[in-house]
Every structure is written in structure tokens, then in C-alpha cells.
Amino acid sequence: MPTPILMPALSPTMTEGNLARWLKKVGDRIKPGEPIAEIETDKATMEVEAVEEGVLAEILVAEGTEGVKVNTPIALLRGEDEAAAPAPATAPRPAAPTPSTAAPAAPQVLRPVAHEPEIPAGVQMRKLTVREALRDAMAEEMRRDPDVFLMGEEVGQYQGAYKVSQGLLDEFGPERVIDTPITEYGFTGLGVGAAMAGLKPIVEFMTWNFAMQAIDHIINSAAKTLYMSGGQMGCPIVFRGPNGAAARVAAQHSQEYSSWYAHCPGLKVVAPWSAADAKGLLKAAIRDPNPVVFLENEVLYGQSFEVPVLDDFVLPIGRAKIVRPGRDLTITAFSIMVGRALQAAEQLAAAGIEAEVIDLRTLRPLDVETVVASVKRTNRLLSVEEGWPVCGIGAELAALMMEHAFDWLDAPVVRVTGKDVPMPYAANLERMAVPQVEDVVAAARALVGRA
Amino acid sequence: MVEVASFRIERVEILRADGTLAAPLPAWAEDGAELVRLYRAMVLTRVYDTKSVNLQRTGRLGTVASSLGQEAVAVGTAAAMRPEDVFLPSFREQGAMLWRGVRIEELLTFWGGDERGSNWSGPREDFPICVPVGTHAPHAAGVATAFKLRREPRVAVCVLGDGATSKGDVYEAWNLAGVWRLPMVTVVNDNQWAISVPRSAQTAAATLAQKAIACGMPGIQVDGNDVIAVREVVGRAIERARSGEGPALVEALTYRLADHTTADDARRYRDDAEVSARWKEEPVARLRNFLVARGLWDKEREERLLAECTREVDRAVEAYLARPPAPATDMIDHVFAELPPAMAAQRASILRRAAERAERRSEPRGGRP
């Protein structure tokens, strides 16, 4: 029986790629380790190697095919003695487990609510990935304002470690798309100085984990100088990059920093989920006269959403958004957890529980009004976040509900958070450490008394 | 073996400790009026420092850092700059700040514990005093980046201490300045002491200037007690940076004759004998001796200058002491460039409390239990 050769994942977060070229043809003998095909993603090109010995029996995906999903069978390998046999009707299950914490590769079926006051009625929509939306936001703002520039590790020549700055070097040149040495403390401080001297830097961290080297300059320099100079010297700067767990990168590269930065006066903190919000809020962040911490998510980069086709789509920082209306409980989430909350809401709806899902979008200033108004209708709040529970966003929301909605609560506020441990490296443990859809569903059912 | 790199560090000395010339004067220093200007600025700084320490000792000022003995570093650096350059001071550069137009009253307001003191009327683009050690070095690189990107012929000048040269972000700033050829000049006020840690315990490097070499920029030592030499060497570095030739590091060798700050007692960790010996090298008497020898100065002019500086400082002290305290809303109003709705309630409650307190104060005694 022929063995299928599967589309491999070049990185833990890759969901699909292009089959660029076959290096072998049907009938060729193949030895283990021999390259048989070239595949490419927006980040890299790599060769697929044969694992077993045999003869290439059939090519299932022609070269030049784009968007081949990971683990799709791309060819069949026959043992030398085996007679050619028809391919199985259905592809066998992949042998290797897929990274379980990555968001599902299937396109999001969940749509924003029909009434979207921020987007004028009748506006044409276009599908964009979060990655493209962020790139477009930066490009539009750089065209609009010569003071805006981007710097960070690998943002220029390499187009961003996660390819967010695709095309920007070509359009704006090396003076405005600047590759830095590996020097977070230094280039963050430099960005702050440039902002205080009148430019509007966008500082990309390869991930927010590395910004711990630079947090002194984010908080002590950027967030406090307007205050400490008696209003003389502001700092219009955006710090951005992927935050939180991606997949299988272990404790030091998976941390979620929302509550760290949301804690600090002088900073604005934005953590969008959809591509439209990523675009509209990044544009707003770049124009904001204050330092803005912009928390992205590596898993979301490749996800597609409808984005309005508008010349200048800017969203207000500091406003949450009801992404699904409901009457039985309120679920708050931000960044990647919005998708999980919406999936949970679908499942809850099937069981007759109508959850209202709020995408917080901005964590400082937090849109308390929207959450309170919702809780006054639903009388129950479930907070979902990927980060640790202690002093987290959920802790803040629980306190705010006691201050502003105590008399409307029919039950204590419930938190679904990441486990209070460093992120495990092992895939099974990592999945357990991060809130999953079933965790949200279970917590919601318990909260409405229908566990 | 192949030698792939080598370096040497020069030290520039012009005025000897006794005020005689060790090297020819630079052309600009042949102008006696210019030398008197430098002298006056150092004397004013010393009068201000003395007064501010007294104010602290009598509870009318917070912790202050005297620049006693290091006046030439600050004044010489500022004198080498153009007004349109940007200065990034640490907390011992009052001599430079005053030269560039910050007012004494504003300095006192800052050290009196009031952020309004940093919103000065003078050089608006100069940075506020950097109290964290060395974090203004990358800021200076950022200012220099802005100059470079906007193609402005301006230079960012930052002064930091010998202790700061051990810090990671200071090195990262120099490295970036070197690799991007930024118009940035760092002056190290090498006063031999980082609070109680002597220069010898700070680094095993023979000089601090040589740290520049690893970043691809020139490093040079200058006698930091000689204001003529400081102005000359820093001036050359600044004009070199202005012409697009990149950053430089100047290590100004001097000595901290006073405590680290008014919160410190240096007698606990260093010998009086060491300090006494260093008094012989201090910059003010050195330049005065030179001026007297040149016939540019005498006892009468000295007395007149001292009286003038004392009057100037005293007037500023009066204005500082008469200044009403900061309004309560200052605590809120500069956190963000605009008032976020979430902070409006906090602002209102602070105003309410302040009004209540004012009302209580205005009531006659015994009017309320």
C-alpha cells in the first residue's frame, strides 16, 4: 500500500504553503533524506525530504499550486516490491499530531455583528489577513506623514520576522524602514529619543518577549516623560509586535504581556483581534500623541477577515466592540481569545444559551462603559484572557464590576485565564495551559447554572 | 600574527592646575571676553550649587547634586554647542543648563520636587534632567537619528557619569550611533566616584574613552578641570559630528569634590586627604589664575562678580520660594496628551477634594469638630 507524503509545516504556526517545484518525477527511485519537492511560504522556501525509501508512485498536487494546507497528501510513495495500487479514496490521518494550540486552520465562520457603526453602510469589504492589514496601516500612515518610520530587527531586508513589513523597504527605502542591530534596550531608547525630537517611530519587537530588555524605556522613558517634563515633551511612538503564545516555543517565548503594560499610566494599550480592527487601530496608534503598546498575535497574522475598502479607515482607541449580541451572559475577550469566545458562543447558542461577546480591543484606557452596559443587561460576566490570572485583565474587570455593576450581578464574575505557570513546551501541556473553546463553554455553562 | 586593529587614546591638556599653559591656546581662547564669560558661568554655577545645598539643609529644597569641582565639564560642553543643538543632561549639568538658558528659578523648582521646573522657558527642545543613570544615552541617539533623517545640521550632546559607562543601554546607544554614524557626542563626566564606587571598581578598561573604539567612533580624554580644553575638545567633536563624520566620546577627567548628593556622606568611604589633594586641581581657581596672569582679572572684578552672582541666585530663590504650589490637577493633566474619559472622573474627584481642603483651611478655628 502506498505511503502518502504530506505537506509539511515549516514552522509551528504555518497552516498552508505553495508547492513551488517537484524535484522528482513519477517513477523515480527515492532514498530517505533525498529532497523531492520545494515548498514555500511567505517566510521561507524549503525542500521536502523523503522519509522512507521507495518509488514516487503518484503526484497528487501539481507544482505551482498555491495555498496547500499543511498535512494534505502531496504524493504517494510505493515500496519497491509493491504493485501500483489505486490511491485511497480518503487521505489517511496524518501520523504526526498537528500543533494543537494554533487556532484552527479553517476560515473563521464567525462574522462581526451586522450593525457596525464604525463602518459606513454599503462600503465594499475585502478579505485581508491580519498581517496584510497591519502592513497596509503602516504603509498608509508612512505615505501620509513623513515623520513616521519603522525600525526593528529584520524589518527591512527580511520584511519582518513574521513578514508584517512586506514591501515597506521597497516603497520607503532604508531611511524609513530601518534594520537595527540586536539591541532592544538601545533601539527602544533611541526610538523614544527620536519621538521626543519630533518623529513618530514605529518600533517593532520581533516578539514582545524581547521587549522585557527594553521595558525600562517603554515605561520610565516613554510613558513618563510628558508627565515629568510638566507637559513640555511628549512621546508619540508605537511599540508593536506579536504577544502571547504562538505554538511550541516554550516559556521564554510565549509570554502574554497585556496586564504588564495596561498597568502603567501614560501608556495606551491596544490588543486587536480582527484584521479590520488591526488596521484601524494601528493607524490610530501611529497618529496618537501618546506612546501606544500594540499587542499583536502570531497565530492571528495568517487569519483573514473582512476589511472595509476605505481611503482612511481609522478606529478610535479606547472603545470595545460587541462582536456578538446575547442576553444570558457577557463574555469579554481580546486578541486571539475573541475567536475562541465566539466559537464558544456558537456552541452555547446550540444549547440555548445566548452569550454576548465583547472584544475589548483596547486595554488602556479600558472601555468600562460598554462592559458595564452589557452586564446590566445580562447580569453575568465571564472574562477570557490568555495571560496569567494574578493581577490580570480579568482581575481588573472583576473589580470594576464591583464598583460599577454590583447590584446588577446575579453571580460572581468568572475568569478563564491561562494557567498560572510558565508556558509548557510539551504540546499536550501547552494546550492545557492556554484557554480553549471548551474551557470557555464549560465556564459559561457553570455561570448560567446549566453546567 | 597579523595586527588587524590598534588604537591609542589621546589626552588634551591646555591649562595646568596652576593656571599656566601646558599647550598653546586655541584661537577662540585668545578672546579675553570669551574666557571671562566661561569664568563667570563657572562661578555662577558654584554660587548656585552652594546655595542649593544650603536650601536643602534647611528643608527648603529636596535632594540636590552639587557639581562642585566639575563646573568646567558642564560649562565647557555647553559653550561648545550651538543654540539649535539639543542637550541631554544627567543630574549634575546645571552649569550647562544655565548656559543654555534654563533659569535658576526653574532648576530650583525642579529640585524642590515640582515637575513644572522641567517645563522651562529656555531651550525648549533640550531634554529634562535624566535622573535614571544613563538612560538618556539612547535618547540622544534617537534625537541624532531625527536630525539625520531630517537632514538638519544639528548635534545631540549628552553628558553622563563614569558609572553610567558600565550600563548596557549606554553601550547600545554608542553602538547604534557608531553603526549609523549619528551626529551624537557623549561627554563622560569622569569624576572618579559613582556614589561610593571608585572608578577603579567600575571597569578594568584603562580609560573610559577607549569604549568608543569598540563602537567604531573616536574616544578622547580631556582634562575636565580645564574649561578651555573641554570647550575645545567637545567643540571639535561636535563640529565633526555636524559635518556628517559621526559620533564621538569625550572622557572629561575631573573629580567630585562634594558628596554624591545631599543624601550622601562621602567621608564614610573616601579619605579627606584624597579630596584635599584634588582641591588643588579645581577648575575655577585654575582659570582665575590664568586670567589674572593675563591681566584680564583682579580682586575688584572678582568681588563684583561674586556679589552679582549671589544677587542673581538670591533673587531666583525668592521667586522659587514665593511660587504657589502646583495645582492638584497637575497630577492628572500631563499623564496623557489629552484627558482620557476614564481619567476624567479621577480628575473631578481630585478637584473636589482640593476644594474641600481649601474650604476647611479658610474656616475659623474651632468652626468644625
pLDDT, tens digit, for every residue of B42-99? Answer: 999 999 999 999 999 999 999 999 999 999 999 999 999 999 999 999 999 999 999 9
Sheet holding A321-324, edge to edge: A321-324, A355-359, A329-333, A381-384, A414-416
Residue of B nearest to A268 (CA): B336
CB spacing of A175 vs B149 below 8 angstroms: yes
Q: What is the mean pLDDT of residues A5-12?
A: 75
- d(Cα B17, Cα B13) in Å, to the nearest integer? 10
Percent of chain B surpassing pLDDT 90: 89
d(CA A261, CA A243): 12
* Contacts with B, A 335-374, CB within 8 Å: 365-366, 368
Report the gap between the CA of A239 and the closest CA in chain B (Å). 15
Of A395, A401, A340, the residue nearest A376 (C-alpha): A401
Same fold? A125-308, A321-447: yes
- Residue A41's pLDDT band, with cuts at 50, 70 and 90, is confident
**For residue A372, what is its C-alpha cell?**
458595564
Q: Quick check: A185 and B127 CB within 8 A?
A: no
- State the average pLDDT for chain A: 89
What whole-number distance in Å separates Cα of residue A282 and Cα of residue A294? 7
A112, pLDDT greater than 50: no
Answer yes or no: is pLDDT of A98 > 50.
Answer: no
Between CA A289 and CA A267 the distance in angstroms is 11
Indicate the helix (H) or strand (E) that contains A320.
none
Q: Where are the alpha helices (DSSP H) in A184-257?
A: 184-196, 215, 225-228
Burial A152-172 (b: 16+ CB within 10 A, else e): bbbbbeebbbbbbbbebbeeb
Mutate to test the interface with B, among A178, A180, A229 (most CBs of B within 10 A): A229
Query: For residues A249 and A242, is the Cβ–Cβ distance under 8 A?
Result: no
Q: Which residue of chain B is at minimal alpha-carbon distance from A181?
A: B176
Helix (H, G, I), strand (E, B) or coil at A356: strand
**What is d(CA B157, CA A31) in angstroms, rounded to the nearest whole number?**
64
In chain A the first and final C-alpha atoms are separated, in Å, by 47
CB A41 within 8 A of CB A10: yes
What are the tens digits of pLDDT across the range A126-146? 999 999 999 999 999 999 999
Contact B226, B11 (CB under 8 A): no
Alpha-carbon distance of A149 to A163, in angstroms, equals 17
**What is the predicted pLDDT for the residue at A96?**
39
Nearest neighbour of B138 by CB, restricted to A181, A186, A198: A186
- Inter-chain contact B342–A368, Cβ cutoff 8 Å? yes
Grid cell digits, residue B5: 586593529
More confident residue, B348 or B341: B348
Residue B366 has pLDDT above 60, yes or no: no
Q: Which of A71-85, A269-283, B135-149 has the lowest mean pLDDT?
A: A71-85
* Beta pairing class for A45-49 and A35-40: antiparallel
Class of domain A3-80 as given by CATH: mainly beta
Q: Quote the Cα angle for A362-A192-B119, to 5°.
A: 100
Set of cell numbers at residue A153: 530587527
Amino acid sitting at position A113 = V
Tell me the C-alpha to C-alpha distance, in Å, between residue A244 and each of A153, A209, A263, A303.
Answer: 19, 8, 17, 16
Residue B249 contacts residue B35 (beta carbons within 8 Å): no
Residue A48 confidence class, pLDDT cut points 50, 70, 90 = confident
- DSSP H or E run through B33: helix B32-57
Query: Which residue in B320, B321, B319, B339 sits closest to B329, CA to CA?
Result: B339
Does residue A115 surpass a pLDDT of 60?
no
Q: Look at residue A16 and tell me whether its pLDDT is greater than 80.
A: yes
Topology (CATH) of A125-308: Rossmann fold (3.40.50)
Instruction: With a cut of 70, say whether residue B304 has pLDDT above it.
Output: yes
Helices (H), A317-392: 336-350, 368-378
DSSP class of residue A436 equals: -
Q: Is A253 a catalytic residue?
A: yes
Say if the Cβ atoms of B120 and A232 lie within 8 Å.
yes
Is residue B273's pLDDT more than 50?
A: yes
Rounded to the nearest 5 percent, the helix, strand and coil shares of chain A are 30, 20, 45
Helix (H) or strand (E) holding A240: strand A238-242
Torsion region of A173: left, alpha or beta (phi above 0 gives left; psi -120 to 50 gives alpha): left
Mean pLDDT of B245-253: 98
Least confident of A60-69, A145-154, A383-392: A60-69
DSSP state of B208: S
ipTM: 0.89
Question: For residues A189 and A199, is the Cβ–Cβ distance under 8 A?
Answer: no
E-strand stretches of B177-247: 184-190, 193-194, 197-198, 219-223
Is position A115 annotated as part of the catalytic site? no
CATH class, domain A321-447, is alpha beta
Chain A interface, best mutation among B139, B151, B343, B350, by max A CB count within 10 A: B139
Residue A445, phi then psi, degrees to nearest 5: -65, -40
User: Across chain B, where does the E strand assignment appear?
Assistant: 11-12, 86-88, 156-161, 184-190, 193-194, 197-198, 219-223, 248-253
Domain extent listing, chain A: 3-80, 125-308, 321-447
Residue where the block lists cell 595646568: B16
A408 touches chain B (CB under 8 A): no
Instruction: Say how far residue A102 (Cα) sits from the centre of its chain.
Output: 10
Kindly list the distances between the CA atom of residue A407 and the CA atoms of A25, A356, A373, A379, in Å, as whole numbers in the listed order. Answer: 72, 19, 13, 9
Kindly determine whether residue A189 and residue B138, on different chains, have CB atoms separated by under 8 Å. yes
Mean pLDDT computed over B244-256: 98
In this structure, the strands spanning A3-6 and A35-40 are unpaired
Q: Where are the beta strands (DSSP E) in A298-440?
A: 304-308, 321-324, 329-333, 355-359, 362-364, 381-384, 414-416
What residues in A contact B139, CB-CB < 8 Å? Answer: 189-190, 192-193, 196, 221
Query: Is residue A104 over pLDDT 90?
Result: no
- The whole-number pLDDT of residue A72 equals 86
CA distance A178 to chain B (A): 10
Give yes or no for a contact between A203 and A235, defined as CB atoms under 8 angstroms apart.
Answer: no
Q: Would you say the C-alpha torsion B322, B325, B330, B334 has a positive or negative sign?
A: positive
